Amino acid sequence: MCANCIAHCFLILPLSIVGEGLCAVIEIDSSYSISATIREASAGDTILLRDGVYRESVRVLDHSIVIASAYLLEGDSSHIIATIVEAELADPDSASCFIVSLPMTDSLTMIGLTLWEGRGTVWHGPSDDWIAGGGLHTNASRVVIRNSRIMNCSAQRGGGIAVMSNTPDSAEGLLDIQYSSLQNCNADRFGGGLFTFQSAAILQFCTMEACTSRESAGGAHLGGYAMMVACTLRQCGGIMGAAVLESDNSLVQGCLFETNGNPWSFQFFGACHLLTLGNVETRNCIFRGNTSNDAAVVIFDFRRFGVPFFSGNVIESHTMLDRVGAVYLWDCQGEFSHNIVRDGYGARGACIVPSGSVFFHHNIFTGNQQDGNSGGSVFSFDNQGPMPGRLDSNVFEDNVGTVFYREAWIPNPPTIDARNNWWGHESGPFHPTRNPDGQGDTLLLSIVEFEPWLMEPPDTSMSSDFRRLSPGVNSTWRLLSVFPNPFNSTLKIELAGFTRQDFKLTLFDILGREQAVVHTGNLSGGELMFEAPRTLAGGIYFLRASDRSAVETRKIVFLK
């Protein structure tokens, strides 16, 4: 071990056994090189960084290592923003904050760091060279990230993070990132926040905010197996929206997509929030608002009969002007079920544009509207092709204008099977010739089979505690960080995911007495500020976050 490291080594612990030796915890400050310390350390050692700015492009090339701030030991989130790795920009070919190329048996773990102002490193791809991974550039390596921030980074691909492999084997490259954020990162081409190529990615309780890409996704472009759980993507801009997933058997679950869009909408037709290709399942997400005139969700080529591929989601407050379709389904099979689509507006109409053999059931379509009677407030079947539409046990209520639309010039239209749905009134849908006394939503097409209809709304819940008619959503929240801790006036509280109406964030003293209610009800990720009241005495307190399904408690200290 190097003399400098030994001089600053404050603790050696038997963390694990590597070969015949013990792993060490080595503390350094910003006057020392992280790369040099890694080379001198042994496999499995932990390098603990004191608060400060480390200006170098850190290379991890030889063996497993853990690199962490004092957050690892203290749990104080202020160490995250105070421990910064800022890339060395003198060599434009190697200007990432971290450059990682490890054997498959080794890995890098980063905990409680901020990666700042990286500009990417050259990677030799299968057909051309890329500048990739402004904050983190990995080649066929396994990386674990916890409670970290990647900020103000950029590259051609993966402005914040790029995880790549030259062979189509996702086992070679893996990113496992949790409780972390990517902010103000951008890419010239793919993945403003995150880009993977022939590598796997697991994202849980992460936030991508104000990230952009001139192509593909502003937030994350995931080109290998991917799992996104309880992530928040907000104000991200890319031609294909906030996120693109293009690998079979991937999953998007419990995520919030909010006010994303395509800044280049006038040049390209794309998506605002999510685009998936292949057998990607999307469950229990919220897609809210948009900043450009594009579809909220575009789904290509889901080809598994009888499999729910889009279920339990909420799409709300989506506005389109000269384009059609908040949800575009291209050549899909399977089930679109238990979703809420509400308060959408399209000048040319239609929230849903289906193509393929899709079974729509137990959805709620309410409060959607379009101008006049051309376009359809909920469905446009212009791209349906020869396969008949099938809809059963859905709720159509308070939609303005005709619910279904199909261009009259399209030859030989198949019958749309819309029997056994609720149309907002027991008298059924209004149809000018077939049901002129109907007081429910309006149908004008002659090719719709709507009899019999339901006399009362169906149960559209997914489980006993997930009542869609409420309407409510599953909670996906987690407390990310509470800082500074100790605090003397203002406490900043970060959450991932979103909460339900029964969520409550409360401050208790050490005797269990409630001292303040910080927040109650719905919340969509982001930050809360708690101003200590003048009557609050100095001492130890507990911040308790809870709803009917989960409880988290953090110990905090108030200095007065």
What is the distance between the alpha carbons of residues 210 and 187, in angstroms, rounded to a whole number?
12
pLDDT, mean of residues 80-101: 96
Give the pLDDT of residue 474: 55
| Residue scoring higher pLDDT (168 or 422) | 422
| Neighbour tally for 92: CB within 10 Å | 11
Q: What is the pLDDT of residues 541-551, one digit of tens each?
A: 999 998 877 88
The dihedrals phi and psi of 425, each to the nearest 5 degrees, come to -160, 145
Q: Is the pLDDT of residue 180 over 70?
A: yes
Q: Is the pLDDT of residue 422 over 80?
A: yes
Of 141, 114, 3, the C-alpha closest to 59 is 141
Give the pLDDT of residue 179: 92
Q: Is the pLDDT of residue 64 over 60?
A: yes
Give the pLDDT of residue 68: 97
Q: Is the pLDDT of residue 77 over 90?
A: no
What is the distance between the alpha carbons of residues 264 and 396, in angstroms, rounded to a whole number?
34
Q: Is the pLDDT of residue 169 over 70?
A: no
Give the pLDDT of residue 482: 85
Give the pLDDT of residue 152: 98
List Cα–Cα distances, 368 to 71, 112, 398, 529, in angstroms: 47, 44, 7, 35
| Residue scoring higher pLDDT (491 or 8) | 491
Q: Is the pLDDT of residue 118 over 60?
A: yes
Q: Is the pLDDT of residue 172 over 60?
A: yes
What is the distance between the alpha carbons of residues 165 and 168, in angstroms, rounded to a whole number?
7
Is 551 in a helix, a strand, or coil? strand
What is the distance between the alpha carbons of residues 413 and 410, in angstroms, rounded to a whole number?
7
pLDDT, mean of residues 65-69: 97
Give the pLDDT of residue 548: 79
Of 321, 307, 310, 309, the C-alpha closest to 287 is 310
What is the distance between the alpha carbons of residues 457 and 363, in angstroms, rounded to a whole number?
11
Q: Is the pLDDT of residue 324 over 90?
A: no
Give the pLDDT of residue 170: 60
Q: Is the pLDDT of residue 376 over 50?
A: yes
What is the share, in percent, of the chain residues with pLDDT greater than 90? 65
| Neighbour tally for 457: CB within 10 Å | 16
Q: Is the pLDDT of residue 218 over 90?
A: yes
Of 246, 108, 81, the C-alpha closest to 175 is 108
| Residue scoring higher pLDDT (346 or 433) | 433
Give the pLDDT of residue 467: 36
What is the distance between the alpha carbons of residues 256 and 273, in angstroms, rounded to a whole number?
9
Give the pLDDT of residue 266: 67
Give the pLDDT of residue 475: 62
Record the tokens describing residue 138, joined without a space. 């990995």
pLDDT band for position 454 (50/70/90)? Answer: very high
Number of residues in the chain: 560
Q: Is the pLDDT of residue 3 over 70?
A: no
Q: Is the pLDDT of residue 108 over 90?
A: yes
Q: Is the pLDDT of residue 25 over 90?
A: yes
pLDDT band for position 267 (50/70/90)? Answer: low
- Residue matched to tokens 């089979």: 449
* Beta strands 504-509; 539-546: pairing state: antiparallel
Q: Is the pLDDT of residue 167 over 90?
A: no
| Residue scoring higher pLDDT (384 or 59) | 59
pLDDT band for position 343 (50/70/90)? Answer: very high
Q: Where are the beta strands (DSSP E) in 235-351?
A: 237-238, 243-245, 250-253, 256-258, 271-277, 280-283, 286-288, 295-300, 303-311, 314-316, 319-320, 327-330, 332-337, 340-342, 345-346
Average model confidence (pLDDT) across the chain: 88
pLDDT, mean of residues 236-248: 92
pLDDT, mean of residues 135-161: 97
Query: Angle at Cα 429 formed by Cα 423 and Cα 435, nearest 5°?
Result: 155
Q: Which amino acid is at 528?
A: L
Q: Is the pLDDT of residue 62 over 70?
A: yes
Give the pLDDT of residue 4: 39
Give the pLDDT of residue 463: 52
| Neighbour tally for 425: CB within 10 Å | 15
pLDDT, mean of residues 19-30: 77
pLDDT, mean of residues 287-299: 91
pLDDT, mean of residues 493-507: 83
Residue 474 CB contacts under 8 Å (≥ 6 apart), including other chains: 254, 284, 312, 466, 500
What is the distance between the alpha carbons of residues 407 and 510, in angstroms, rounded to a whole number?
68
What is the share, in percent, of the chain residues with pLDDT greater than 70? 91
| Residue scoring higher pLDDT (323 or 15) | 323
pLDDT band for position 135 (50/70/90)? Answer: very high
Q: Is the pLDDT of residue 5 over 50?
A: no
| Residue scoring higher pLDDT (2 or 35) | 35
Of 119, 171, 120, 181, the C-alpha closest to 146 is 181
pLDDT band for position 465 (50/70/90)? Answer: very low
Q: Is the pLDDT of residue 13 over 80?
A: no
Q: What is the DSSP letter of 438?
A: -
